[in-house]
Structure 1
Amino acid sequence: MAYILKRLLTMIPVLLFLSIMVFSFIHLIPGDPAEIILGQDATPAALAALRAQLGLNLPLDVQYIHWMARLLHGNLGTSLVNHEPVSLLIMQRLPVTVELAIGTIIIALLIAFPMGVLAVVYKGKFADFAALFTSTIGLSVPPFWVGIIFLLLFTVKIHLFPSSSYVPIWQNPLQNLSAMILPMVATGLREAAVLLRMLRSTMLEVVAQDFIRTARAKGLRAGLVILKHALPNALIPVITTGGLQIAGLLGGLVITEQIFSLPGFGQLLVQSVFSRDYTTVQGAAMVAALIVVVVNLLVDLVYGLADPRIRVEGGRT
């Protein structure tokens, strides 16, 4: 419990720092929100009145305090462009990206772990070369190119999947799966390549250690040695890599969402930046930062589950 409490307390200064960064950087974007809303033909009096209404005429530190006060009450503000609550816009888009990220990670795990284990068990044989080839191809080919090839092959040529038919999974699971499977696989291949390379290299280091040789000397089967002794001791670096991948997917799926016409969170953020919608960009950026911090917290907790020594040491410090 002390381990979890300590990790939760460390989130407070991190989120405070991120809020300052998000608020500060958004004002570096060129353009006047009042001019975007009213148009370039608006009179100076109308622009001044709108800036006063939005609080844009106040000093930045006062604007930040007001923004943080609303944020602490769960109010992300109202979009300057379409005049809808930012929280509503995010709740409409975020489930798409979360579903895509979860599906991507599941596909990556289904590819990386079996191939990584087989590569170590059959080191120097066909399974090992297949794992190296897969990881090299996955790292070399960008996901957006894979997505375009998938669209041309499975949508335009074979007509196996529709081009743009996304519906929420709770409305029509089959139609949702048909729209999401291609982008999940397109991004999952690269994430699998990263995990596969990390898992293989880490496990090769572990199997060279003395306790693995002792386990083999006791007559344990090679597969049992790998699964029971080598794999658990190789998980920490893999968990770290997986956590970074999950956090990175939040912003890395923007191109994939664009290619497959998915109304996701990343697409909302990019559109808001181009339209100079300050409040939406600030709210979306803070939600993204919160998700990244929570993912890092979960990774820390998984560390404790994978290796209890980390949890004990963390509770003592």
Structure 2
Amino acid sequence: MLNAQAIEALRVIAASIKNLELFKAEIQADLAQVKLLEEELLQQNETIIAERQVYHDLFKFAPHAYLITNYDGIIIELNYTAAALLNVLPSLLIGKSLINFVSQDEHSLFLTKLKQSLNVKSVQELEVTICPRGGQVFDALLLVKPGRETSGALGALQISLHDITKYKRLPVPQEMPSSIAPVARPNGLDGLRVLFVDDEADTRELIAAVLMQHGVEVTTVATVTEALAELERSRPDVIISDIRMPDEDGYALIRKIKALEAEKGWQIPTAALTAYLGEDRAKALNAGFQSHLHKLAAPTELIAMVAQLAGRG
């Protein structure tokens, strides 16, 4: 028979066990709450990432040229329209100085203005001469304001780049009768549909940006298989293709296009776009391409080629 001391000890043990069970239940409830909070945070994080991607895509595909640089003009981010104006692939411009594209006699003024822009809140205007790689020199207006990198870091400059050549070189308007209104000339390439085939994403984006600036509707694909699938859905006005691609190259594509034309009674103008100076132009033309252009050609040459192929030259 248990004595009073033993009974008291059992009572204490039972009370302790009950307390532990209550403590365990509290911990489990807390863990459940933590799990719920974790799930909410994950959901919020996914939403933030998705929203950031939306704004990043808006920046990348904006119809106007935008760049983000540091105070020395080193390019941190840029969109495809800016790369098209500078005539260089976007990936090759990151880490390079924008001053490389500014007329040499304007370097000092350009750097001074950039450094001044960091210390003011308003947008600063700067007119410079831009010299694209292998392209036509143009007069540019830069709108510069301090801001953040796309990563959120401070100390960057947000730059909007505009080609104002046509505005600066317009003749002084003469007075005209009020009954006569100027007629706007339509863009000769508006609505033209181009299918562009290239396995390099940067090239697809740059060429698409150049063409879209002139009103062209561009569809880009990475492989011959994707190009043929697109041709099953719709008929473009012009096809442009890289020659050297993995798996099936541009020559394989042109053979299949010719077979498709014979089957459907189509005639689609095609052009070869290559990155190699030693690429055989005659071979491309003999294979069935109507035109051939190097990837480093000026944007004006690309536009002229597309216009000519489409009969809108």
Q: TM-score range by the shorter chain?
A: under 0.3
The structure that is helix-richer by fraction is 1
- Larger RCO: Structure 1 or Structure 2 (Cα < 8 Å, ≥ 6 residues apart)? 1
Q: Which has the higher strand share?
A: 2
Larger radius of gyration: 2
